[in-house]
A = this chain, B = another copy of it.
Amino acid sequence: MLPARDKIVERIRRKQYSLEEYLIGIRAGDKVVLSQAITLVESSLLSDKSLIEDLIQACYGFEAKSKRIGITGSPGVGKSTFIESYGQLLIREGHRVAVLAIDPSSPLSMGSILGDKTRMDSLAREEAAFIRPTAAGISLGGVARKTREVMILCEAAGYDHILIETVGVGQSETMVRSMTDLFLLLIQPGAGDSLQGIKRGIVELADLICVSKADGELLEVARDARSQYEQAVHFLQKKEFGWETKVILSSSVLPDGLKTVHLAIQEYMTFMQESERLKTMRAEQLKFWLHETWRVAILDRYLQSSGFQDAMQNAENQVINGVWSPFYAADQMLNF
């Protein structure tokens, strides 16, 4: 057995802090500790589970001040450029900005193969910015839960704007919508068929639609795209809580190119706060989150229980050999 002092040195060397040490570091806004806490949260080791739960529980309760913004759009539309510029604008106004990313687009390689580390270079150099790339090797459901947990850590570390980027246009958008206050769709100025590439469902989810790259020779095309999307919004969306989705032009290269989108985001947030819709929406999200957490935990309890894996193995064999249908086999496993 190691002496106590050596144990602590060993722990620090392996970057294993105690709950208290994590909390002090996070609350002090220490990016290194925050990063290590996120790595811990992303861990799937059973031995880390209890510490992760305590850490999240302790970091819970700093969300009231934060604005959570989901940002989506097809690959190539300029999400990173937009986030880089908008993040810097927020920082100039005195905010602290955390950028998270969800990319479940690649089920086989588990993570984006495009995930180069040089993205958002100048934003990353800002003291008040924290950028965390996608966690690799986690399922979509897992990514969603981990992203929510990471968001809570970032809020506890004093980041008052959480920008969650989702790469591409797919199922992950519903997930991101379920954990953000505002869902922003970025659109590229394009030809008459510009609506084609974007799923209707995404347009329905968006609170703001921003036609990016609206500068230089693309300005006219961008204006056309705005008109089209305004029509689409009018046609597609339910005005269930009184906010009509705005379609705006933006440019990350013009000096004032982000002003319109910044104002629109502020207008939306003010509306959401004053109408108490933000409160309602976050309550709905908390409920959703409770159900998700419960669901995962229930299944986990079975998977970890003694003898279950053997019984499932047997059921699998019966199914593969054609003795049981998968439905009958699942029924048998219900009685485990």
Q: Which residues of A contact B (CB under 8 A)?
A: 53, 56-57, 60-61, 74-76, 104-109, 112-114, 140, 168-172, 174, 193, 196-197, 199-201, 204-205, 236, 238, 283, 286-287, 289-291, 293-295, 297-299, 301-302, 312, 315-316, 319-320, 322, 325-331, 333-334
B200 near A113 (CB under 8 angstroms)? Answer: yes
Chain B's nearest CB lies how many Å from the CB of A200? 5
Counting every copy of the chain, the complex holds 2
A319 near B107 (CB under 8 angstroms)? Answer: no
Of the candidates B53, B197, B204, B325, the one whose C-beta lies within 8 Å of that of A60 is B325
Complex Cα–Cα for A319 and B297 (A): 17
Q: Closest residue to A284 on the B side, CB-wise?
A: B320
A320 near B57 (CB under 8 angstroms)? Answer: no
List of B residues within 8 angstroms of A56 by Cβ: 325, 327
Complex Cα–Cα for A289 and B325 (A): 10
List of B residues within 8 angstroms of A172 by Cβ: 171
A330 near B293 (CB under 8 angstroms)? Answer: yes
User: Beyond A170-B199, A289-B319, A298-B299: 16 further Cβ-contacts under 8 Å?
Assistant: A53-B331, A57-B327, A57-B328, A60-B327, A75-B199, A106-B199, A106-B201, A108-B238, A168-B199, A170-B171, A283-B320, A286-B316, A290-B330, A291-B312, A297-B334, A298-B334
Q: Closest residue to A77 on the B side, CB-wise?
A: B196
Complex Cα–Cα for A108 and B294 (A): 24
- Can you list the 8 inter-chain pairs with the closest CB atoms, starting with the nearest? A171-B171, A170-B170, A293-B330, A106-B201, A294-B330, A290-B326, A289-B326, A105-B199
A76-B193, A171-B172, A197-B75 known; A320-B108 Cβ under 8 A: no
Chain B's nearest CB lies how many Å from the CB of A187? 13
B286 near A319 (CB under 8 angstroms)? Answer: yes
Q: List 10 A-B contacts (CB under 8 A).
A: A57-B327, A75-B199, A104-B171, A107-B201, A286-B320, A287-B316, A290-B315, A290-B333, A293-B326, A294-B329
